[in-house]
Amino acid sequence: MSVRQCERMKVGDYEVISDLGVGGMGTVRLARAPTGRCVVLKQPHPGDPSLNELLVDEARVGLRLKHPHIVETRDFFEHDGQPVLVVAYVSGASLADLRNQGPLPMPVVCRIGRQIASALDAIHKATDPQGRPLNVVHRDVTPANIMVGHDGNAR
């Protein structure tokens, strides 16, 4: 094995641990921040400027949102000419994965519903630094995109 193969891949200051998935927009990776905490890196597929713009918009909004049921946006930078969005890692499972294990108890469904409704309310009321509405609408609220942490909180 060459020295190059032994080195961990770095994206900016973040050490990539593993790929989490590839979707229509880009690649999602688990990484370790310089602080030692796990984070998620989102990078658009190369060569499509519209995907870059979508990630820039996601970062612009995400950096403005601070809510206990919204995954925290931690960083945004450019690496090798591509934008990279860094968000907090949520240790847990998606709501889709939990549903696949069987029906959830009604109190759990109600708690998750309240938490996600609160997060969506915060997103819809988000403003820019001058207090103007950002007019954000989350267009992909699905069980696969709702993470339920080991702490029991939905994001």
Which residues belong to the active site? Answer: 140
Q: Could you tell me which residues come within 8 angstroms of residue 43 by beta carbon, excluding any fewer than 6 positions away?
A: 11, 26, 27, 29, 55, 79, 82, 83, 84, 85
Kindly list the distances between the CA atom of residue 26 and the CA atoms of 5, 15, 16, 44, 100, in Å, as whole numbers in the listed order: 24, 18, 15, 4, 25
Q: Is the four-CA dihedral 141, 73, 33, 41 of positive or negative sign? A: positive
Q: Which amino acid is at 97?
A: D
Yes or no: say if 6 and 18 are a contact pair by the CB < 8 Å rule: no
Yes or no: say if 32 and 15 are a contact pair by the CB < 8 Å rule: yes
Alpha-carbon Rg for the chain in angstroms: 17
